[in-house]
């Protein structure tokens, strides 16, 4: 009995760990798409953030500094995407593809420069701390490897992610700026005639999404693993995008979707550890097949923000 | 005479070819700036790349071999793009094609031409289904093809890795499958190359001999043929007309009686098939087997770049594929030659795509330059 | 008329010699306008004359190339809508600027939100203020309703409320009656009177002459960007206004000889069709169409017209009921069958969305429905020679300008784009021609052309179904008029000698 509870604890804990980077990035997706800008460059932003986070954390010995810088790195790519899409009316999906190339190119380029030609960083001496262990000492509050320990003794980034979901929800639905973001995404012309700067709001939204995606990348490289490598992100940015659609462009929905995918990963690792007789490659397919099935069941009934992907052009006035 | 020149120049610069060339130039410029900031001499780097492509006929041959799958995946993405669909799944469709070709190449025993035809045919069909699936989900359920194709990419990757572990197919412990039969290979003169006469020829003929040292195969010829086929279908046939109409305006196409959903599926079938062909030719001509992959090889993703830079046309894919292949191949040499990271090429590619997506910016730059020139 | 509310001592708006150019195109060529406090000033002109451009300059959406604007005697520069709002100018646009999923209150306070500290919204205070203003001016708005749930007339009142909420003293109304029933138009006129009594000034853009006579004090006429005159409305006739607007004697009716109605060709019975949100839009509709007639469907936008046309053309599923052609049931046919098998052709309501592929050239657009037939293609291969030869014929026969079939459709004017569509739809001699808002956004010349084409079809013994929100058009062009209200046909009258008020009453749901 105790073994089963421990196993459940393990799965929950792993789920939380893998969902966290997805949640950060997915929240970024929600923000930008709510403002009417498609951002499939989340992958590149996450990649670049993972690199920046690991590198800064390695050289400065401060994981938190790395974490914040990762966000700034992502925001930088967000700025490029915003300039292309908002100011120069670029085709948004194409710009997103460019961002992916830029993000990975820039990340690997700098990696080689900073780490002696390697496409991965060296191990970070100090990872993001685990608040429970930090505050109370190892194994003092919860029994080590017990259910409570497995579930709650997680990296600080995990707690931060869920906190951020609440923050984004509040800002989007209860504040002035959130209402303006929604308006710009649904009917930018209306917002414009009321004196709201559509350009400024979209710039802000896209750069914020870059910041969040960067955080998501760092949540992988400074917390989950403790280094950056060129296969670390591998598509998680796109899964976050799928989670956003699945979550109907709502922060709480995106969070639940990310938990679902994290859960699939958690189950996959658990079964692998237990020697489940299904080959690891087939298990690895699970989250992706699951995504497709879920989207098929859900998407037809959801509607994205009305003005999404549509170019808003004020030139010629 | 002057007026004609002005009009011609304006048409060229404002036309898509002009804008693409300018974007490429800007990409090179940015690459140079980045190298400079990182402490490298950009001219030296570009010279290494240029030498790495042209200085030996062996290199030129490698560029063509490297470009072949890129051209075909570029065609794949371009085809879908003309119907208004973003096929990010060329990567997965490529993998499916590769699996089928490796399997058909190994398990069947048939005479040469038949064997190749069967292997390529099966690869195309399987990959077409892989692509058509995404097209169907979009048509029927409204799921955006960007997401579904990306998911299918991953499923294909893990499927490939799984297949490699099968006892009947994969040599255990090596992470690779058994090599395909010699009758399935599309290499040129591969037997003769290692015969006595062949070795003698290579030794005595510098240029041609150099070329023969590379795994030259007829894949490139097929790439050109496929480009012509794509051009023909899109511009000369009623099918192409339908697909283009749907790509530009699905509402008007529907009102005119075109079956938009069917068009989407057909487009993805063709697109998938093309990407599968790329994987097949790569296996039959270069690798002769498939191996366990830690990550996707990237031919499909690079095909997206090729298609965008080539303005989603058949001819454009050929030129962009060659450009891309040359850059990637030549670019890989600057790492060893001067420790400059080869990923500067990725940055350049990303920049080129970004500028290609922003014709407004380039026109703005041009008008500013023109105004300065006038003053 | 009414007791004057105008205070001639106060000039609230003066636009002096305003010029607005877009590149080389002169949209406004030295136009001057003066509005006094409490006045209703109308701006009259044809489509494309420059009326909306002029008021957009006043509202800060455009910057005038030359000229001056004075508000309350002071010269000002209005750089954006915020500045306009600061000066007390409010605008109700022709196409509503409302965020559909938002509530009334959210839309009203957008950009001027009432907040508690730190930017947190104070919706309760906002709702209270909205209710206050609504009561004061008799607008009857519920602050909590969602825009997507309320009627078009109510949505317009929300737009007015939006302007008043921001302290507008001067209200610009751009074609406000285009989307209203005759009843709602009277309600709006009453609201306008309320507003002027409270000292507000109104600038109203409209091309409905009888409305100008009803509500406006003064009228400025613009033609092709140029100022023609400002007249006192009570001293001129509708005919005078029309002549000034168009520049020539205008005949209000369409030349049409008598035609005998032929046999019944199309019968619609108990048709039920849902809209995009699953709400019933066509609700048990019965209608019969005969050869050799133009049957016009009159009604206010939003009573099921679009859904009816989409059901007839196969673009929308039929929930219940039947459609029969020559006695044979064709319900549920897809667009391909409707066009190719049943030879029912349509001039769509939205030519840029449904009618043309803008990036295709004229020739490619002309064969949109026939590309798979000989001689345009054989065995799946297109025959470019034949296609472009055909296009050359069409551009001449249908007066499409420019005549170059290689030009992209998007480079043609609205009128010529419509000609391409007409050429395509009429060329194959359709049994039934459905024309949905066929003259929307066209100038007078193009409108005449379209009406002539419709009458031609009818004279040749074909059936024409005309759906238009413009009651004048329906009355002038049709032989019989059916009125649609809430998804049903509520009355059918002969066009000869019809009483507009009777039709208007039916359009609003009243009974004869």
- Domain-wise residue ranges, chain A: 2-301
Q: What is the pLDDT of residue C512?
A: 44
- Closest Cα in chain B to C368: B256
pLDDT surpassing 60 at residue C250: no
Q: What is the pLDDT of residue C388?
A: 93
Q: Report the complex ipTM.
A: 0.85
Burial profile C251-262: b = 16 or more Cβ within 10 angstroms, e = fewer: eeebebeebeee
CA distance A4 to C175: 71
pLDDT band at C294; cut points 50, 70, 90: very high
Q: What is the pLDDT of residue A316?
A: 40
Q: What is the pLDDT of residue A126?
A: 65
CA distance C117 to C111: 16
Tokens matching residue C166: 């921001």
Scan residues 104-143 of B and list those with Cβ closer than 8 Å to A: 137, 141-143
Q: Average pLDDT in the B60-73 region?
A: 92
Q: Does the beta carbon of B245 lie under 8 angstroms from any beta carbon of chain C? A: yes
Instruction: Tell me how close the Cα of A282 comes to any Cα of chain B, in angstroms.
Output: 6
Tokens matching residue C466: 């005309």
**pLDDT-wise least confident of B280-294, C20-34, C244-258, C466-480:** C244-258
pLDDT surpassing 50 at residue C229: yes
Secondary structure (3-state) at B195: coil
pLDDT band at C446; cut points 50, 70, 90: confident
Mutate to test the interface with B, among A39, A40, A45, A97 (most CBs of B within 10 A): A97
Secondary structure (3-state) at C505: helix
pLDDT surpassing 60 at residue B46: yes
Show contacts of A290-294: CB within 8 Å, 24+ apart.
A290/A260, A290/A261, A290/A264, A291/A239, A291/A242, A291/A246, A291/A261, A291/B147, A291/B151, A292/B137, A292/B143, A292/B148, A292/B151, A292/B152, A294/A246, A294/A257, A294/A260
- Closest Cα in chain B to C372: B238
Q: Does the beta carbon of C101 lie under 8 angstroms from any beta carbon of chain A? A: yes
pLDDT surpassing 50 at residue C319: yes
* Domain C1-88+169-250 architecture: 3-Layer(aba) Sandwich (3.40)
Q: Which of A177, A193, A196 sits opposite C61 (nearest CB)?
A: A193
Q: What is the pLDDT of residue A185?
A: 92
Q: What angle do CA B200, B66, B282 make, to 5 degrees?
A: 90
Cis amide linkage into residue C402, ω under 30° from 0: yes
pLDDT band at C271; cut points 50, 70, 90: very high
Secondary structure (3-state) at C32: strand
- Look at C111 and A316 and tell me if their CB atoms are within 8 Å: no
pLDDT surpassing 70 at residue B200: yes
CA distance B93 to B95: 5
A177 burial type by CB count under 10 A (0-12 exposed, 13-18 middle, 19+ buried): middle
Q: Which residues pair with C434 in a beta bridge?
A: C346, C465
In eight-state DSSP terms, residue C338 is I
Q: What angle do CA A188, A191, A192 make, to 5 degrees?
A: 85
Instruction: Tell me how close the Cα of A65 comes to any Cα of chain B, in angstroms.
Output: 23
Q: Chains B and C: how many Cβ contacts under 8 Å?
A: 63
Secondary structure (3-state) at C164: helix
Q: What is the pLDDT of residue C309?
A: 95
The residue ranges of every structural domain in chain C are: 1-88+169-250, 95-167, 253-343+430-512, 352-428
Q: Average pLDDT in the C163-178 region?
A: 89
Would you say C18 and C34 are in contact if contact means Cβ atoms under 8 Å apart? no
Q: What is the pLDDT of residue C253?
A: 60
pLDDT surpassing 80 at residue C333: yes
Instruction: Tell me how close the Cα of A209 comes to any Cα of chain B, in angstroms.
Output: 19
Would you say B230 and B79 are in contact if contact means Cβ atoms under 8 Å apart? yes
Residues of B in contact with C436 (CB under 8 A): none
CATH 3.30.70.100 assigned to C253-343+430-512: no
Q: Average pLDDT in the B135-146 region?
A: 88
Would you say B312 and B78 are in contact if contact means Cβ atoms under 8 Å apart? yes
Tokens matching residue A293: 């099935």
Q: Which residues pair with A267 in a beta bridge?
A: none
- Any residues with CB less than 8 A from the CB of B307 and at least 6 apart, and which? B74, B75, B76, B77, B78, B81, B316, B317, B320
How much of chain B, in percent, has pLDDT values that exceed 70? 96
In eight-state DSSP terms, residue B291 is B
Higher pLDDT, C260 or B149: B149
- Closest Cα in chain B to A283: B158
Q: What is the pLDDT of residue C36?
A: 93
**pLDDT-wise least confident of A74-78, B143-147, C153-157:** B143-147
pLDDT band at B7; cut points 50, 70, 90: low
pLDDT surpassing 70 at residue B43: yes
- Any residues with CB less than 8 A from the CB of A197 and at least 6 apart, and which? none
Q: For residue range C88-133, what is the model confidence (pLDDT) as tens digits?
A: 999 998 788 899 899 999 999 998 888 888 888 888 999 999 999 9
Cα torsion B226, B231, B232, B237 to 10°: value is 130
Q: Does the beta carbon of B4 lie under 8 angstroms from any beta carbon of chain C? A: no
Would you say B146 and B83 are in contact if contact means Cβ atoms under 8 Å apart? no
Instruction: Please report all neighbours of C, defined by 3+ CB atom pairs within 8 A.
Output: A, B
Q: At what angle do helices A236-246 and A251-273 cross, to 10 degrees?
A: 130
Question: Whose CA is closest to C422, among C440, C400, C444?
Answer: C400
Q: At what angle do helices B260-282 and B57-82 cross, to 10 degrees?
A: 170
Bridge-based pairing state of the strands C488-494 and C89-92: unpaired
Q: What is the pLDDT of residue B1?
A: 40
Q: Average pLDDT in the C358-371 region?
A: 92
Q: Average pLDDT in the C286-312 region?
A: 91
Q: Which residues pair with C90 in a beta bridge?
A: C171
Overall fold of domain A2-301: ABC transporter involved in vitamin B12 uptake, BtuC (1.10.3470)
Residues of B in contact with A103 (CB under 8 A): 350
Would you say C315 and C306 are in contact if contact means Cβ atoms under 8 Å apart? no
Please list the ranges in chain A whose pLDDT falls under 50: 315-317
C440 burial type by CB count under 10 A (0-12 exposed, 13-18 middle, 19+ buried): middle
Q: Average pLDDT in the C231-255 region?
A: 74
């Amino acid at each position: 009995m105790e073994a089963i509870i421990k196993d459940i604890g393990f799965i929950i804990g792993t789920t939380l760990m893998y969902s966290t980077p997805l949640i950060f990035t997915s929240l970024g997706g929600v923000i930008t798409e709510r403002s009417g800008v498609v951002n499939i460059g989340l992958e590149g932003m996450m990649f670049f953030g993972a690199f920046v986070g690991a590198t800064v954390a390695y050289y400065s010995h401060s994981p938190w500094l790395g974490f914040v810088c990762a966000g700034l790195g992502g925001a930088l790519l967000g700025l490029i995407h915003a300039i292309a899409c908002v100011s120069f009316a670029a085709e948004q999906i194409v710009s997103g593809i460019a961002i992916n190339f830029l993000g990975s190119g820039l990340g690997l380029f700098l990696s080689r420069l900073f780490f002696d030609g390697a496409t991965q960083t060296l191990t970070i001496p100090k990872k993001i701390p685990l608040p429970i262990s930090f505050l109370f000492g190892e194994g003092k509050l919860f029994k080590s490897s017990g259910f409570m320990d497995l579930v709650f003794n997680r990296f600080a980034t995990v707690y931060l992610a869920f906190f951020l979901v609440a923050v984004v929800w509040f800002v989007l639905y209860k504040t002035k700026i959130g209402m303006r973001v929604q308006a710009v995404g649904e009917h930018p012309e209306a917002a414009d005639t009321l004196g709201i700067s559509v350009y400024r709001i979209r710039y802000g939204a896209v750069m914020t999404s870059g910041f969040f995606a960067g955080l998501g990348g760092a949540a992988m490289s400074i917390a989950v693993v403790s280094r950056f490598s060129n296969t670390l992100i591998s598509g998680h940015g796109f899964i976050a995008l799928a989670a956003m659609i699945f979550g109907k462009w709502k922060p709480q929905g995106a969070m639940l979707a990310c938990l679902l995918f994290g859960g699939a990963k958690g189950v996959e690792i658990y079964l692998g550890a237990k020697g489940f007789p299904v080959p690891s490659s087939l298990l690895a397919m699970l989250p992706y097949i699951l995504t497709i099935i879920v989207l098929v069941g859900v998407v037809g009934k959801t509607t994205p923000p009305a003005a999404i992907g549509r170019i808003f052009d004020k030139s010629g006035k | 005479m002057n007026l004609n020149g002005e009009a011609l120049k304006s048409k060229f610069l404002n036309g898509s070819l002009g804008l693409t060339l300018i974007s490429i130039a800007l990409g090179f410029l940015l690459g140079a700036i980045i190298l400079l900031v990182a402490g490298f001499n950009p001219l030296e780097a570009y010279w290494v790349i240029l030498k790495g492509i042209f200085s030996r006929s062996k290199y030129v041959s490698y560029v063509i071999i490297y470009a072949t799958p890129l051209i075909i995946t570029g065609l794949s993405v371009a085809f879908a793009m003309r119907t208004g669909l973003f096929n990010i799944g060329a990567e997965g469709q490529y993998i499916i094609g590769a699996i089928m070709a490796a399997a058909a190449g190994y398990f069947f025993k048939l005479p040469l031409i038949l064997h190749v035809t069967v292997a390529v045919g099966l690869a195309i069909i399987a990959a077409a289904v892989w692509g058509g699936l995404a097209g169907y989900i979009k048509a029927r359920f409204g799921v955006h093809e960007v997401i579904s194709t990306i998911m299918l990419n991953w499923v294909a990757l893990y499927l490939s890795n799984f297949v490699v572990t099968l006892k009947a197919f994969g040599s255990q412990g090596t992470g690779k499958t058994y090599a395909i039969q010699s009758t399935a290979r599309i290499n040129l003169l591969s037997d003769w190359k290692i015969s006595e006469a062949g070795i003698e020829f290579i030794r005595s003929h510098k240029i041609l001999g150099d070329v023969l040292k590379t795994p030259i195969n007829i894949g490139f010829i097929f790439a050109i043929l496929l480009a012509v086929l794509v051009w023909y279908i899109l511009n000369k046939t009623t099918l192409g007309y339908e697909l283009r109409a749907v790509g530009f305006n699905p509402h008007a196409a529907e009102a005119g009686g075109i079956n938009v959903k069917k068009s989407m599926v057909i487009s993805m079938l063709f697109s998938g098939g093309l990407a599968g062909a790329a994987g097949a030719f790569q296996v039959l001509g270069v690798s002769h087997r498939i191996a366990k992959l830690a990550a996707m090889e990237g031919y499909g993703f690079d095909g997206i770049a090729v298609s965008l830079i080539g303005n989603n046309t058949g001819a454009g894919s050929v030129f962009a594929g060659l450009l891309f292949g040359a850059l990637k191949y030549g670019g890989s040499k600057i790492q060893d030659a001067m420790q400059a990271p080869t990923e500067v090429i990725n940055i350049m590619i990303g920049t080129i795509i970004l500028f290609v997506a922003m014709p407004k910016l380039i026109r703005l730059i041009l008008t500013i330059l023109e105004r300065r020139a006038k003053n | 008329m009414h007791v004057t509310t105008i205070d001639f001592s106060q000039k609230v708006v003066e636009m002096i010699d305003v010029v607005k150019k877009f590149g080389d195109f002169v949209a406004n060529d030295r136009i001057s306008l003066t509005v006094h406090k409490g006045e209703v000033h109308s701006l009259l002109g044809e489509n494309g004359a420059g009326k909306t451009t002029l008021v957009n300059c006043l509202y800060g959406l455009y910057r005038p190339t030359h000229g001056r604007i004075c508000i309350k005697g002071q010269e000002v520069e209005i750089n954006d809508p915020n500045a306009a709002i600061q000066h007390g100018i409010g605008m109700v646009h022709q196409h509503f600027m409302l965020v559909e999923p938002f509530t009334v209150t959210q839309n009203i306070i957008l950009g001027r939100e009432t907040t508690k500290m730190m930017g947190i919204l104070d919706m309760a205070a906002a709702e209270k203020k909205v209710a206050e203003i609504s009561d004061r001016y008799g607008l009857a708005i519920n602050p909590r309703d969602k825009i997507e749930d309320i009627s078009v007339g109510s949505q317009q009142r929300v737009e007015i409320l939006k302007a008043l909420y921001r302290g507008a003293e001067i209200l610009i109304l751009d074609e406000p009656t285009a989307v209203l029933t005759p009843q709602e138009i009277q309600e709006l006129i009453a609201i306008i009177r309320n507003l002027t009594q409270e000292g507000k000034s109104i600038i109203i853009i409209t091309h409905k002459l009888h409305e100008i006579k009803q509500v406006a004090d003064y009228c400025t006429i613009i033609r092709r960007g140029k100022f023609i005159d400002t007249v006192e409305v009570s001293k001129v006739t509708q005919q005078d206004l029309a002549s000034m607007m168009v520049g020539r004697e205008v005949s209000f009716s369409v030349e049409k000889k008598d035609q005998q109605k032929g046999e019944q060709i199309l019968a619609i019975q108990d048709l039920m069709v849902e809209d995009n949100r699953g709400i019933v839009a066509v609700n048990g509709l019965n209608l019969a169409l005969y050869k050799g007639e133009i049957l016009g469907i009159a009604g206010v936008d939003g009573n099921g017209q679009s859904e009816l046309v989409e059901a007839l053309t196969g673009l929308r599923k039929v929930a219940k009921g039947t459609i029969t052609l020559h006695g044979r049931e064709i319900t549920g046919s897809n667009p391909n069958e409707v066009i190719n098998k049943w030879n029912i052709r349509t001039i769509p309501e939205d030519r840029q969305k449904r009618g043309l592929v803008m990036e295709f050239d004229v020739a490619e657009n002309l064969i949109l429905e026939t590309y798979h037939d000989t001689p345009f293609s054989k065995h799946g291969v297109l025959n470019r020679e034949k296609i472009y030869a055909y296009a050359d014929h069409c551009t001449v026969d249908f007066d499409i300008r420019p005549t170059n079939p290689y030009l992209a459709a998007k480079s043609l004017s609205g009128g010529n784009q419509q000609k391409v569509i007409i050429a395509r739809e009429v060329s194959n001699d359709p049994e039934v021609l459905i024309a949905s808002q066929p003259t929307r956004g066209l100038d007078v010349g193009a409108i005449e052309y379209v009406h002539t084409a419709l009458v031609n079809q009818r004279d040749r013994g074909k059936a024409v179904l005309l759906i238009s929100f413009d009651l004048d058009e329906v009355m002038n062009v049709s032989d019989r008029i059916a009125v649609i209200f809430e998804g049903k046909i509520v009355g059918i009258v002969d066009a000869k000698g019809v009483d507009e008020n009777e039709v208007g009453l039916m359009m609003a749901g009243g009974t004869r």
